């Protein structure tokens, strides 16, 4: 009887699969569906009511049905599904701004797939250990929507400050969610086959869930905090014996960072027309979403935030969204970022350095940052800018004929025409073809470790109707070929109708010289240096500064700050070394007009450095004092 029952069940499943996969099957939830659409129901493959068992093998079987160019829809039932590394596909990927540790462990891998919608229906996908939840490689016309991503045991930990004195600090740590041991008097976080030392710390306000002001990268525990000696008091309560230079507040939460940045939550490579909609990322073991060398991307209703049900203070990964060397249009709307270990959004290219001039048409180049090696940096027909890196001046352009890797760090470029004679070894190159337009709107940048939105692209940029509460600069426009090698001089930026709260720029981080900071790294900067950025307009915004610096601009030709409202906040004490409301270094064509100042704005002044006073056009109604250096 058991055999007959099993046979009957198998036949029913087969009939269901044939029915649901038929082009004649119409899903009533869709208004219009192509007649040749294939529906793949995950429950048919056993992905339903699976408890905490591993569904990777089941989902892999389902993904084998993704053949052909006809429209396809993957449908998850509501529920919670667990993914473990053992059965995952492995692939070698060089992921921008990520540690080179191959192969990557890919839970849901899509290679060369076209015309696919993945409907989560509110399902919760739970991952274990180091792995990459979604990978889209060489895909086109993809929609991923309506699901959440989290980890059963995150690779970031947190602890509540239970007590602190001049001699020790007591921490409460949830041992089940953040397994740890005490080894050689240090806290060591452990998992299946691995151990990680506690590396760095952030302090979050217990009630406000924001980074505690004036901590940031200075270290919320002060210098030499690593010299603590740990001992277990009772399970889940650890005493750190040490005189901490800075004492966090009792009841606040410390985020204890320990893992390496190896996998992205969602990795998009060599793909086109990808939309991420209503996806919540509660954790990732690296960047939240990484898109590289892809075209036309939409992120709508994406959240990289802490899981409130688990009382977490850390959010979905390091950067919430990294867009590296992409093109076309990148749209970010209705998104939310909070509790991240790095910047919510970073849009940039990758500069490389010339290490050898092989011939009049061939160059040998090197990736200069260890987290940006191995990229397919060039393609035939790409437009390349030649940069004299001490002045950061693009002095010529060329068209690429071929890209030939030598190893992970170096490659040979062949150009269609002779390279410029003035090019020298150690100059830099920028791929101008892979630079997108960017629209960021109706999004909330809550308190994270560093800045809010980083923009380095010569495409058209519009940043509007957002709320910024970043613990560092709300917006950073950088660009360099000497340090991070993140390229992209801007040419057309509009920052309008945003709100910058008093939580902006409360802690010191690199490049954070104002609520809006325009800070390209230029080694030889003076009054004769050509401007790096151009055409930046900041208008109709609300600023609530508690400190002096609101706008810092370096090497910009054409910057307008108009019709903004500045309202003094007294929530925090000023701390910043920069004592000017506006600072302009080596800038031209500066315009300030129509701004409203409410309350005793600190400074209410302008600093001009390497900037001729004739380049400053400010209406008398602004009532600002000016200092020249």
> What are the pLDDT digits (tens) for 544-582?
999 999 999 999 999 999 999 999 999 999 999 999 999
Element (H, E) at 201: strand 200-204
Q: Is residue 437 part of a domain?
A: no
Report d(CA 48, CA 77) in Å as an integer: 7
Q: Are residues 35 and 147 in the same domain?
A: yes
Q: Is residue 345 part of a domain?
A: no
- Give CA angle at 515 (511, 520), nearest 5°: 35
Band (pLDDT 50/70/90 cuts) for residue 12 is very low
Give 192-231 pLDDT, tens digit per residue.
989 999 999 999 999 999 999 999 887 899 999 999 999 9
**In 3-state terms, what secondary structure has residue 272?**
strand
DSSP 66: -
Q: Are residues 364 and 463 in the same domain?
A: no
Closest CA to 587 of 537, 529, 541, 510: 529
Q: Quick one: pLDDT at residue 161?
A: 98
Parallel/antiparallel/unpaired status of strands 352-357 and 428-431: antiparallel
Q: Are residues 171 and 231 in the same domain?
A: yes
Domain end, chosen from 220, 237, 257, is at: 257
Q: Is the pLDDT of residue 27 over 70?
A: no
Report d(CA 233, CA 175) in Å as an integer: 13
Q: Quick one: pLDDT at residue 482?
A: 87
Closest CA to 74 of 112, 123, 35: 123
CB 556 within 8 A of CB 609: no
Q: What are phi and psi of 218, to 5 degrees?
A: -70, -20
DSSP 574: -
Q: Are residues 233 and 300 in the same domain?
A: no
Report d(CA 92, CA 110) in Å as an integer: 14
CB 115 within 8 A of CB 136: no
Q: For the chain, what is the domain count?
A: 4
Q: Which residues pair with 83 in a beta bridge?
A: 127
Q: Are residues 182 and 312 in the same domain?
A: no
DSSP 64: T
Report d(CA 35, CA 304) in Å as an integer: 36
Q: Are residues 29 and 96 in the same domain?
A: yes
Angstrom distances, CA of residue 84 to CA of 70, 129, 149, 502 = 31, 7, 13, 42
Joined together, the tokens standing for residue 379 give 């393609």
Q: Are residues 116 and 232 in the same domain?
A: no
Report d(CA 98, CA 373) in Å as an integer: 9
Q: Give the range of the structural domain holding residue 325, as residue numbers without chain letter.
A: 19-153+261-337
Q: Is residue 439 part of a domain?
A: no
Band (pLDDT 50/70/90 cuts) for residue 32 is low
Give 613-625 pLDDT, tens digit per residue.
999 999 999 999 9
- Give CA angle at 271 (71, 341), nearest 5°: 120
Q: Quick one: pLDDT at residue 330?
A: 98
Q: Are residues 473 and 568 in the same domain?
A: yes
Joined together, the tokens standing for residue 59 give 């989902």
Task: Find the Cα–Cα–Cα–Cα dihedral 430, 431, 433, 438, rounded to 10°.
Answer: -60
> Average of pLDDT values for 306-323?
96
Q: Is residue 499 part of a domain?
A: yes
Give 420-477 pLDDT, tens digit per residue.
999 999 999 999 999 999 999 999 999 999 999 999 999 999 999 999 999 999 999 9
Give 35-64 pLDDT, tens digit per residue.
899 999 999 999 999 999 999 999 999 999
CB 350 within 8 A of CB 325: yes
Q: Quick one: pLDDT at residue 11?
A: 41
Q: Which residues pair with 147 in a beta bridge?
A: 123, 279
Report d(CA 206, CA 98) in Å as an integer: 31
**In 3-state terms, what secondary structure has residue 239?**
strand
Band (pLDDT 50/70/90 cuts) for residue 373 is very high
Q: Is residue 317 part of a domain?
A: yes
Q: Where are the beta strands (DSSP E) in 57-130?
A: 72-75, 80-83, 89-91, 104-111, 114-127
- Give percent helix, percent strand, percent coil of the chain, each to the nearest 5: 5, 45, 50
CB 439 within 8 A of CB 330: yes
Report d(CA 474, CA 483) in Å as an integer: 21
Q: Are residues 205 and 217 in the same domain?
A: yes
> Average of pLDDT values for 522-550?
97
Q: Which range is least confidently modeled, 14-18, 46-50, 135-139, 443-447?
A: 14-18
More confident residue, 164 or 1: 164
pTM: 0.94
Report d(CA 394, CA 167) in Å as an integer: 56
Q: Are residues 487 and 611 in the same domain?
A: yes
**In 3-state terms, what secondary structure has residue 253?**
strand
Report d(CA 473, CA 477) in Å as an integer: 10
CB 461 within 8 A of CB 438: yes
CB 61 within 8 A of CB 89: no
Q: Is the pLDDT of residue 24 over 90?
A: no
Residue 381 region, left (φ>0) first, then alpha (ψ -120 to 50), else beta? left
Q: Quick one: pLDDT at residue 28?
A: 38
Give 242-290 pLDDT, tens digit per residue.
999 999 999 999 999 999 999 999 999 999 999 999 999 999 999 999 9
Q: Are residues 412 and 469 in the same domain?
A: no
Q: Is the pLDDT of residue 9 over 60?
A: no
Joined together, the tokens standing for residue 496 give 């309008």
Q: Which residues pair with 413 in a beta bridge?
A: 363, 403
Q: Is the pLDDT of residue 22 over 60?
A: no
Report the largest interatomic distance among the alpha carbons of the chain, rounded to a whole angstrom: 95
> Average of pLDDT values for 339-355?
97
CB 125 within 8 A of CB 131: no
Burial 169-192 (b: 16+ CB within 10 A, else e): bbbbbeeeebebeeeeeebbbeee
> Average of pLDDT values for 314-324?
95
Q: Are residues 139 and 47 in the same domain?
A: yes
Q: Is residue 555 part of a domain?
A: yes
Write down how long the chain is: 629
Domain end, chosen from 257, 290, 319, is at: 257
Give 384-423 pLDDT, tens digit per residue.
999 998 999 999 999 999 999 999 999 999 999 999 999 9
Q: Is residue 436 part of a domain?
A: no
Q: Quick one: pLDDT at residue 317?
A: 87
Band (pLDDT 50/70/90 cuts) for residue 16 is very low
Joined together, the tokens standing for residue 293 give 């060398």
Joined together, the tokens standing for residue 10 give 């198998």
Closest CA to 276 of 386, 146, 390: 146
Average pLDDT of every residue of the chain: 94
Task: Find the Cα–Cα–Cα–Cα dihedral 204, 209, 212, 216, rounded to 10°.
Answer: 70
Q: Is residue 6 part of a domain?
A: no
CB 444 within 8 A of CB 339: no
Handedness of CA 368, 369, 373, 377 (dihedral sign): negative
Domain end, chosen from 222, 240, 257, is at: 257
């Amino acid at each position: 009887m058991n055999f007959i029952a099993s046979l009957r069940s198998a036949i029913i499943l087969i009939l269901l699969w044939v029915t649901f996969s038929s082009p004649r099957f119409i899903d009533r939830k869709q208004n219009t569906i192509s007649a040749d659409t294939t529906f793949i129901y995950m429950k048919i493959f056993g992905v339903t009511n699976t408890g905490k068992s591993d569904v990777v093998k089941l989902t892999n079987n389902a993904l084998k049905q993704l053949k052909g160019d006809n429209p396809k829809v993957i449908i998850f039932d509501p529920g919670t599904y667990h993914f473990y590394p053992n059965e995952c596909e492995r692939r070698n990927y060089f992921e921008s701004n990520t540690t080179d540790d191959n192969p990557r462990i890919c839970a849901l891998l899509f290679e060369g797939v076209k015309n696919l919608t993945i409907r989560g229906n509110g399902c919760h996908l739970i991952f274990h250990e180091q792995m990459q939840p979604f990978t889209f490689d060489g895909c086109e016309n993809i929609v991923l929507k309506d699901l959440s991503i989290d980890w059963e045991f995150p690779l970031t930990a947190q602890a509540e400050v239970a007590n602190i004195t001049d001699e020790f600090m007591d921490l409460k740590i949830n041992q089940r969610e953040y397994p740890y041991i005490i080894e050689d008097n240090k806290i060591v976080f452990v998992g299946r086959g691995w151990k990680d030392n506690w590396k760095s710390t952030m302090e979050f306000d217990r009630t406000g869930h924001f980074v505690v002001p004036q901590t940031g990268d200075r270290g919320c525990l002060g210098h030499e905090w690593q010299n603590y000696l740990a001992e277990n008091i009772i399970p889940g309560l650890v005493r750190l014996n040490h005189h901490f230079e800075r004492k966090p507040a009792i009841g606040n939460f410390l985020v204890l960072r320990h893992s390496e940045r190896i996998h992205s939550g969602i990795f998009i490579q060599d793909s086109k027309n990808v939309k991420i909609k209503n996806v919540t990322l509660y954790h990732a073991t690296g960047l939240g979403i990484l898109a590289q060398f892809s075209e036309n991307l939409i992120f709508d209703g994406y959240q990289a935030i802490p899981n409130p049900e688990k009382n977490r203070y850390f959010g979905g990964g390091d950067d919430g969204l990294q867009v590296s060397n992409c093109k076309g249009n990148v749209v970010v709307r209705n998104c939310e970022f909070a509790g991240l270990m790095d910047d919510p959004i970073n849009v940039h290219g990758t500069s490389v350095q010339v290490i050898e001039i092989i011939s009049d048409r061939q160059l040998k180049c090197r990736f200069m940052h260890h987290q940006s090696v191995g990229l397919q940096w060039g393609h035939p027909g790409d437009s390349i800018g030649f940069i004299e890196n001490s002045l950061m001046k693009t002095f010529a352009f060329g068209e690429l004929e071929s890209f030939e890797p030598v190893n992970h760090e170096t490659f040979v470029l062949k150009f269609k025409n002779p390279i410029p004679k003035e090019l020298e070894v150690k100059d830099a190159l920028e791929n101008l073809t892979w630079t997108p337009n960017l629209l960021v709107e109706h999004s909330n940048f809550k308190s994270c470790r560093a800045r809010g939105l980083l923009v380095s692209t010569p495409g058209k940029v519009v940043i509007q109707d957002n709320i910024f509460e970043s613990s560092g600069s709300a917006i950073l426009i950088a660009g360099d070929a000497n340090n991070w090698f993140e390229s992209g001089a801007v040419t057309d930026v509009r920052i309008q109708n945003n709100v910058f709260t008093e939580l902006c720029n409360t802690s010191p981080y690199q490049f954070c010289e104002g609520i809006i900071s325009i800070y390209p790294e230029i080694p030889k900067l003076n009054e004769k240096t050509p401007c790096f950025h151009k055409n930046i307009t900041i208008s109709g915004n609300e600023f609530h500064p508690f400190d002096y610096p609101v706008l810092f601009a370096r090497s910009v030709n054409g910057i307008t700050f108009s019709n903004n409202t500045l309202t003094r906040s007294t929530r925090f004490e000023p701390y910043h070394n920069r004592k000017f409301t506006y600072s302009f270094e080596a800038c031209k064509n500066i315009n300030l007009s129509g701004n409203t100042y409410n309350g005793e704005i600190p400074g209410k002044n302008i600093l001009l450095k390497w900037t001729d006073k004739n380049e400053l056009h400010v209406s008398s109604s602004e009532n600002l004092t000016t200092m020249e250096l």
